[in-house]
């Protein structure tokens, strides 16, 4: 949310704020809430901006202009591999393939209709776990699940269906970002049409991580983003979902599904951050169909992490957005845990929070 210096700008304010200040009658946002105070022109509002505010807006504009000029295709490295899984494959085999190839998602292909069938992600495995948990007698059945049955599993446990969203690789990158924010997808497949056959062709998958890295490496304007995490209210600070080293893994998975989050900080009794359990950790735990291990503690489960695990990244509320972009430029960051001087948990900044701020702050979100 904007800080006070910026709230004079005509951005749509948080309609919840007036409720807290004025009581019940303000529960409904008045149209005037969205307008500048009488007699204030946009030029006057801009005059009241500090040099840091102006730099910040300039930095954001340079990122948005860049994303509008580049296509999703531009984000792809010169050479890359793409593993596509056939929907006839057994779910348990798909797990091994992901693990063997060191990947955490893959596009699906329906060879019966020769069409793209959505993106397989860690959420799908978490759904299978949820299904097994609700139907423990069906273990032998769970073992025989094919990727094509994921939709039925989702229906049975009443969760969001498999993501089938995609974008054309030659569309502006800005469009891919907006699509991801709209659907809360953390990655998006690039799907083209083959000239010869007229059929769909999956080109690659781009992630929020790759897009932010692309921005960090190529947009000099990121240097202008000198406002701090607390200035711009980046990330989530209230209602944080956490666990301790003793929490059973299955409880953490339930949290992830219930709140649609991809990680849960692990803290001690003083709220000091010890680690972060991530949705991708689930893959190593259930490989080989070891569903019974889900009652083991988070602490034990984290021992199964691969040796090349990228680590946990932290920051403070005083850190500036340009230093976060520096970290993204240099490292494989998937989220930042916000801590105080004593390592105590304050909040969490996910890549979607950064993308959301960079794309939408001050914009009229249509």
Distance from C-alpha of 136 to C-alpha of 196, rounded to nearest angstrom: 48
Which of residues 70 and 186 has its CB atom nearest to ligand AMP in the complex?
186
CA-CA distance, 173 to 67, in Å (whole number)? 5
Shortest Å, Cβ 348 to ligand AMP? 5
For ligand AMP, which is the closer residue by CB, 75 or 348? 348
Minimum CB separation of residue 15 from ligand AMP in Å reads 18
Shortest CB 276 distance to ligand AMP, Å = 8
Q: Minimum Å distance from CB 354 to ligand AMP? A: 10
Secondary structure (H, E, C), the chain = CCCCCHHHCCCCCCCHHHHHHHCHHHCCCCHHHHCCCCCCCHHHHHHCCCHHHHHHHHHHHHHHHHHHHCEHHHHCCCCCCCCCEECCCEHHHHHHHHHHHCCCCEEEEECCCCEEEEEECHHHHHHHHHHHHHCHHHHHHHHCCEHHHHHHHHHHHCCCCCCCCCECCCCEHHHHHHHHHHHCCCEEEEEEECCCCCCEEEEEEEEHHHHHHHHHHHCHHHHHCCCEHHHHCCCECCCCCCECCCCEHHHHHHHHHHHCCCEEEEECCCCEEEEEEECCHHHHHHHHHCHHHHHCEHHHHHCCCCCCCCCCEEECCCCEHHHHHHHHHHCCCCEEEEECCCCEEEEEEEHHHHHHHHHHCCCCCC
Quick one: how far is CA 345 from the chain centroid?
A: 20
- The answer to whether 350 touches 335, Cβ cutoff 8 Å, is yes
User: Which CB sits closer to ligand AMP, 203 or 337?
Assistant: 337
CB atoms within 10 A of CB 340: 13
User: Residue 241 CB, nearest distance to ligand AMP (Å)?
Assistant: 4
CB 202 within 8 A of CB 107: yes
Nearest CB to ligand AMP, comparing residues 89 and 261: 261
Nearest to 247 by CA among 306, 309, 294, 305: 294
Output the smallest distance, CB 94 to ligand AMP, in A.
22
Binding interface with ligand AMP (CB under 6 A) = 186, 235-236, 239-241, 261-264, 335, 348, 350, 352-353
Q: Which is nearer to ligand AMP, 148 or 356 (CB)?
A: 356
Q: Least separation, in Å, of the C-beta of 279 and ligand AMP?
A: 8
For the bound state, the minimum distance from the C-beta of residue 128 to ligand AMP, rounded and expressed in Å, comes to 19
Task: Write down the least CB distance from residue 187 to ligand AMP, Å.
Answer: 11
Judge whether 355 and 2 are in contact, CB under 8 Å. no
Q: How far is the CB of 207 from ligand AMP (least distance, A)?
A: 11
């Amino acid at each position: 949310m904007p800080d006070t210096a910026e709230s004079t700008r005509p951005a749509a304010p948080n309609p919840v704020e007036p409720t807290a200040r004025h009581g019940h009658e303000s529960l409904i946002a008045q149209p005037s809430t969205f307008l500048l105070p009488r007699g204030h022109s946009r030029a006057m509002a801009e005059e009241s901006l500090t040099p840091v505010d102006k730099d910040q807006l300039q930095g954001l504009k340079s990122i948005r202009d860049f994303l509008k000029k580049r296509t999703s295709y531009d984000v792809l490295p010169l050479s890359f591999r793409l593993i596509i899984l056939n929907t006839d494959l057994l779910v348990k085999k798909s797990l091994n393939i992901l693990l063997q190839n060191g990947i955490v998602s893959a596009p699906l292909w329906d060879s019966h209709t020769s069409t793209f069938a959505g993106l397989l992600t860690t959420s799908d495995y978490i759904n299978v776990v949820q299904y097994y948990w609700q139907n423990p007698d069906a273990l032998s059945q769970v073992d025989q699940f094919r990727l094509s049955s994921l939709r039925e599993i989702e229906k049975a446990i009443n969760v969001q269906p498999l993501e089938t969203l995609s974008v054309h690789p030659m569309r502006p990158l800005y469009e891919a970002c907006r699509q991801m924010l709209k659907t809360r997808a953390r990655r998006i497949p690039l799907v083209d049409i083959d000239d010869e056959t007229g059929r769909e062709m999956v080109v690659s998958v781009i992630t929020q991580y790759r897009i932010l890295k692309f921005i960090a490496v190529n947009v000099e304007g990121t240097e202008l983003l000198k406002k701090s995490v607390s200035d711009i209210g980046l990330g989530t600070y209230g209602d944080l979902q956490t666990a301790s080293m003793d929490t059973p893994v299955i409880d953490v998975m339930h949290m992830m599904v219930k709140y649609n989050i991809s990680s849960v900080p692990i803290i001690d009794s003083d709220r000091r951050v010890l680690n972060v359990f991530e949705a991708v950790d689930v893959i190593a735990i259930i490989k080989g169909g070891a569903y019974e291990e889900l009652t083991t503690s988070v602490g034990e489960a984290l021992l199964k992490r691969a040796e090349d695990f990228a680590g946990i990244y932290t920051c403070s509320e005083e850190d500036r957005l340009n230093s976060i972009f520096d970290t993204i430029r240099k490292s494989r960051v998937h989220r930042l845990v916000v801590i105080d001087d004593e390592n105590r948990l304050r909040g969490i900044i996910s890549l979607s929070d950064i993308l959301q701020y960079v794309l939408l702050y001050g914009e009229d979100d249509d």
